[in-house]
Amino acid sequence: MNARSYTPLPLAARTTSQRAKTVLHWVLQLPPSYLVLAALLVIIAFFASNLLNPMFTSIILRQCAPLGIIVLGQALVMRAGSIDLSVVGVSAMTIYLVTSGVLSSLHPALIVIIPILLGMLVGVLNGIFIAYIRASAVMITLGMTTVLLGAVSWLTTGQPPGAVPKWLNLVTSERLLGLSYAIYIWVGLTIVFALAVRTLVFGKFLAAIGDSPKASTISGLPVQRVIFISHVAAGILGAMGALLQTSALGVGSIKPGLDIAMNAIAAAILGAVTFGSARGGVMGPFIAVLAFGYLFAALTVFGIQEPGKLMVQGLVIAVAAISAGVRQK
């Protein structure tokens, strides 16, 4: 026979090939944060394995907690098709209120509650302007941050506030089963958030509005109310994250870091949460925050200075945005 006969692959080989394709398809459908974290852990295991020991892991998790809580709020408003940049101003004002001494005569519970109420008030104002007046979310929340930063600068006359109350510092310094209390707060809020979005009617409304705001409006869904509640929740979570950040810093600062909002947005996008979509659920952004924590820790160990860290941070944000755009096509 001159013609080469075709010999089909054995059943076992075909089954293995199909399984490999299925696994590859499943991996590619994961939020980018999973792949980034896996790649980082492999690199760290080879070049900075000390970061993986329990002590350093606990420190990294503790450092991730403030951003992790803020990302919950950012992911919520992004799922509703909005955005919140006011977290920078909320963070600055929270740090001022806690460390300046203006609340020092009050009960510790009130010192915690008042900044949270401030965050809620900012969220209410954002929600009214964005959901009901239909102003630009970027302009409103950026303007809110500018007002709050200006107020803090005026109140402090440009000087850093004082130290963090010792009882608040214990939230991050004290440990339970080897882990900071801040980690339990972060994980607990993440679980509550995940259950609320999955089981409550609000979560179903949020998903529908994110998929198609116009269709949701025509169907009679409470679009404005959902967007409003999302911004209120984001304001509260922003203040809570700022409280943990203040606890970890140990001292007041009038420059809380303008990268807070960008890191929160980047973590949400890296976790497959985009404007109106939440394919990554809650775990996507959670894993993204861990990836950022290990990334910044690794850059420090490798001796990368602040300019280099900013460049890498910008690159990660760009890759996250590009990945989100490609996956939506």
The model's pTM is: 0.85
Q: Give the closest residue to 126 by CA, choosing from 231, 265, 229, 226.
A: 231
Residue spans of alpha helices (H) in 174-305: 181-199, 201-211, 213-218, 223-249, 259-270, 283-301
Say if residues 216 and 168 touch (Cβ distance below 8 Å): no
Provide the angle, in degrees to the nearest 10, between the axes of the packed helices 166-173 and 108-127. Answer: 80
What integer pLDDT is reported at residue 325 of this predicted model?
A: 64
Phi, psi torsion values for 115, nearest 5 degrees: -60, -35
pLDDT (mean) for 178-201: 88
Q: How far apart are CA 122 and CA 94, in angstroms?
A: 12
d(CA 206, CA 79): 7
C-alpha angle 129-154-77 in degrees, rounded to nearest 5: 30
The whole-number pLDDT of residue 207 equals 80
Q: In Å, what is the CA distance from 76 to each residue of 79, 159, 193?
A: 5, 34, 9
CB atoms near residue 260 (< 10 Å): 24
Percent of the chain with pLDDT strictly greater than 90: 18
Residue 29 CB partners (closer than 8 Å, separation 6+): none
pLDDT-derived band of residue 1, with 50, 70 and 90 as boundaries?
A: very low
The structure tokens listed for 281 are: 């659920």
- 85-89, 248-252, 260-264: which is most confident: 85-89
The two tokens of residue 184 are 């339990």
Strand partners for 251: 163
Residue 179, SS3 per DSSP: strand
- Tens-digit pLDDT profile for residues 209-257: 777 777 777 877 888 898 999 999 999 999 999 888 888 776 666 565 5
Could you report the per-residue pLDDT of 102-156, keeping only the tens digit for each?
A: 787 888 889 899 999 999 999 999 999 998 998 888 999 999 999 998 888 888 8
CA dist 163 and 157 (Å) reads 17
The predicted pLDDT at position 19 comes to 63
